Amino acid sequence: MMTEIVYVNLPGPEEPNPGMTGGELLHGFLAELHRAPNDDTRAFVNALCGKWNVRYREGKD
């Protein structure tokens, strides 16, 4: 059983920029999937997140 949880802080980067690290690119990619306009896509992403212990959390102001 996996016990490690990965948190994706929202909002993520809107666009890839030169010089971003792999982690920053992945962060932006996952944040964009979370913003998908299609309900079926969001449901699929949420199912994958549950399987891989990935959690999204909103940034605090």
Question: Which stretches within 16-59 are classed as H helix?
Answer: 22-34, 39-52
Q: What's the confidence (pLDDT) of residue 59?
A: 77
Look up the pTM and report it: 0.72
In angstroms, the CA 53 to CA 61 distance is: 25
Residue 56, CA atoms < 13 Å, CB-side half-sphere: 19
Q: What's the confidence (pLDDT) of residue 61?
A: 53
In angstroms, the CA 48 to CA 5 distance is: 13
Q: Are 6 and 57 in contact (CB under 8 A)?
A: no
Q: How confident is the model at residue 9 (pLDDT cuts 50, 70, 90)?
A: confident
For tokens 């399987």, the residue is 51
